[in-house]
């Protein structure tokens, strides 16, 4: 009974701005509420003013992610945390992993451009970047943060790295295939049927066969 009364009072309270509310007691002792009272025996109900709340308007900036640049006041620091300057990196695939230290954290909409030997190598939206298939040797690396309008916001110092990877000259596919079809292999021994053995005697007592070929490995017979 109480919850029904409470729900009714809420409903009537919402309508109190437009109509007066009355209550009366029925013969069985139950209480009735309505904005249309009976002819007699009804009592006017004094209701408290309805409490309302109006939310402030939501701007486009406040509706964005907390990492928006609504209150951005610049980056305090932007450095290459790893690799260290003058580091030697050994990777036969030519991959170089970079880790940037940024304070505050990278704002949504900002991007990091990585430069290798003075030329733009790529762009990232995260502080961890991997440069792929970098050639062996010494390289200079730095990075720049840009906003979505292309304005430079911060720049790292330049570091130097030495990348070591297997030389193309030492890779298996860089060695010439052996010549097929009876030709001599590079640096290999002479094939059978080469020059005659030096100083070999002629066959004992046997005359040279008329018009016959020289015997393998023997000296040229005399007639």
Mean pLDDT, contiguous 10-residue spans, the chain (223 residues): 53 55 80 74 73 70 51 91 95 94 93 95 93 94 95 96 79 41 45 51 49 47 38
Q: For residues 84 and 133, state if they share a domain.
A: yes
Q: Which residues form the domain of 32?
A: 2-45
Q: Name the token pair of 53.
A: 């709340």
Amino acid 215: pLDDT: 46
Is residue 99 in a domain? yes
Residues 84 and 159 in one domain: yes
Amino acid 182: pLDDT = 40
pLDDT for 153 equals: 95
Q: What is the pLDDT of residue 71?
A: 78
**Strand duo 111-116 + 77-82: pairing:** unpaired
| pLDDT score of 55 | 76
User: To the nearest whole number, what is the mean pLDDT of the chain?
Assistant: 73
| CATH number, domain with residue 108 | 2.60.40.10
Q: 3-class SS at 5? A: helix
**pTM recorded for the entire structure:** 0.47
Name the helix (H) or strand (E) containing 14: helix 2-14
């Amino acid at each position: 009974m109480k919850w029904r009364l409470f729900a009714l009072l809420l409903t009537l309270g919402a309508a109190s701005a437009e109509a007066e509310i009355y209550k009366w007691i029925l013969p069985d002792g139950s209480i009735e509420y309505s904005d249309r009272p009976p002819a007699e025996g009804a009592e006017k109900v004094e209701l408290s003013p309805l409490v309302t709340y109006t939310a402030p308007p939501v701007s486009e900036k406040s509706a964005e992610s907390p990492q928006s640049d609504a209150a951005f006041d610049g980056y305090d620091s932007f450095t290459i945390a790893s690799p260290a300057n003058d580091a030697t990196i050994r990777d036969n695939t030519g991959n170089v992993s970079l880790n940037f230290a940024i304070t505050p954290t990278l704002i949504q909409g900002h991007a990091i451009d990585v430069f290798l030997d003075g030329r733009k190598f790529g762009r990232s939206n995260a502080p961890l970047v991997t440069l792929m298939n970098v050639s062996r040797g010494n390289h200079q690396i730095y990075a720049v943060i840009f906003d979505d309008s292309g304005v430079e916001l911060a720049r790292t110092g330049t570091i130097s790295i030495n990348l070591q990877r297997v030389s193309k000259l030492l890779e298996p596919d860089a060695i010439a295939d052996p010549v097929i079809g009876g030709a001599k292999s590079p640096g290999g021994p002479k094939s059978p049927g080469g020059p005659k053995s030096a100083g070999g005697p002629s066959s004992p007592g046997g005359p040279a066969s008329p018009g016959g070929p020289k015997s393998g490995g023997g000296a040229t017979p005399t007639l």
